[in-house]
Amino acid sequence: MKYPCPPNLNIWWNMGSMLFVTLGIQILSGLMLSMNYTADSALATSSMNYILRDANYGWALRSTHMAGASLFFALIYIHVGRGVYYGSYMKMPHVWYSGVTLYLLSMGVGFLGYVLPWGVMSYWGLTVITNMMTVFPGGARALEWFQGGFSISTLTLKRVFVLHFLLPFVILGMSVVHVILLHNKGSSNPLGLDTTELVVPFHPYYTSKDLVGFVFMLVGLAALALTFPKITADPLQWQAINKMKTPAVIKPEWYFLYAYAILRSVPHKAGGLALMFAAILGIALLPTLAKWSKTQSMKISPIGEALFFVWVANFVFLGIIGSQEPAGAWILAGQVGTFVHLFCMLSIPIVNKKWEDLVFYEDGDYSFLGV
């Protein structure tokens, strides 16, 4: 209640608490769904239909869980964007690293969850992604071990379900660590200036502000779940799996499309995988690249700010590319998008530093910033 906070936190500081609430909603709705779900390749689809048609409010739980997954990733992307724009990673590298871990875990859970309805995309998505293991030495053995045999079967679906059930609790624990680490130094702020001399208590200032965020978020979630429950889902998810017929376009949910576009940007399995990991894990390098910076927020770095918005626009562009058949001009577009993504992400901290050297005092007197 007495936790000291900067007085000028804007709405982009609301995402963390909203992520916590969404995680809670996902865990609760997931627990209730799992009571009627059957992880068996012969029964999974009919258990999903049972949930949607017969189980009491099963339709509402399932729609909430589906929309909640989209909401969770939307919040994560805004949360990370806030961190990059306002340079949060500079002040708190450990919070940042725990955040990157949370993102990776969330990607795992999101991917595994998509397999459970056992639709066409579940099957082929699982096939594409698990086959990536084969680029590593011993990968073919590891794949066989993961699948529980030479091909995807009930054994695979069971272990996917167990992991999808278990990992959100690891995310919950890790989120607590994330916030404990944050509370060591306290939040930074939109101006990136030192506010230790000027703080307000968390309650009532940010309890009330967080509540406003929850209201907007819950209204949005209800609107999405009750009005457009299938808006993000691929229609092929309503078709029975045919192992003999590969769909023309295999694609993940919207929140993985950017990474998928990068994975397919080069016609080389290991090369694509390496680029995808570089694109995802590249954000973990930001604290190191920004080690020498004194100023934090992009508000005082116009070129960095421009690069940030190009990075965001390119993220959307990559999402469009990821949803297309990789042919013709889309291949080139994917390569350009991959380059822009890596270039903007990694040059933002460097450009910030150069700008700082150019504009601020040459003798390194940053006392006016409180550093």
| 8-state DSSP, 56 | T
Q: Does 311 bind ligand HEM (CB under 6 A)?
A: no
Q: Is 209 in the active site? A: yes
Q: Closest CB to ligand HEM among 140 and 176? A: 176
**Candidates 13-21, 28-36, 146-154, 223-231; binding stretch for ligand HEM (CB under 6 A):** 13-21
Mask for 263-302, x = binds ligand HEM (CB under 6 A) = --------------------x-------------------
DSSP 320-359: HHHTS-S-THHHHHHHHHHHHHHHHHHHHHHHHHHHHHHH
Q: Closest CB to ligand HEM among 272 and 287? A: 287
Which residue blocks in the chain are alpha helix, DSSP H?
A: 15-34, 44-53, 58-85, 88-91, 93-115, 120-130, 139-147, 154-185, 202-227, 257-263, 269-281, 286-289, 302-322, 329-359
Q: Is 79 in the active site? A: no
Q: Does 333 bind ligand HEM (CB under 6 A)?
A: no
Q: Does 68 bind ligand HEM (CB under 6 A)?
A: no
- The distance in angstroms from the start CA to the end CA of the chain is 28
Contact 192, 301 (CB under 8 A): no
**Candidates 88-96, 143-151, 329-337, 341-349; binding stretch for ligand HEM (CB under 6 A):** 88-96
Q: Does 84 bind ligand HEM (CB under 6 A)?
A: no
**Interface with ligand HEM: number of residues (CB under 6 A):** 30
- H/E stretch holding 200: strand 200-201
Contact 41, 189 (CB under 8 A): no
Binding to ligand HEM (CB under 6 A) within 142-201 occurs at: 171, 175, 178-179, 182, 187-188
Q: Is 183 in the active site? A: yes
Number of other CB atoms surrounding residue 158 within 10 Å: 14
Task: Report in angstroms how near the CB of residue 342 gets to ligand HEM at its nearest.
Answer: 16
Distance CA 103, CA 255 (A): 12
**Candidates 59-67, 77-85, 195-203, 321-329; binding stretch for ligand HEM (CB under 6 A):** 77-85
Q: Is 158 in the active site? A: no
Q: Does 89 bind ligand HEM (CB under 6 A)?
A: yes
Q: What six digits make up the tokens of 42?
A: 């012969």
| 8-state DSSP, 237 | G
Among 66, 76, 290, 345, binds ligand HEM (CB under 6 A): 76
Task: Report in angstroms how near the CB of residue 179 gets to ligand HEM at its nearest.
Answer: 5
Task: Report in angstroms how near the CB of residue 61 gets to ligand HEM at its nearest.
Answer: 21
Q: Is 188 in the active site? A: no
Contact 341, 279 (CB under 8 A): yes
Distance CA 344, CA 277 (A): 16
Residues catalogued as catalytic: 183, 187, 209-210, 253
Sites of contact with ligand HEM (CB under 6 A): 13, 15-17, 19-20, 23, 76, 79-80, 83, 86, 88-89, 92, 95-96, 99-100, 102-103, 106, 171, 175, 178-179, 182, 187-188, 283
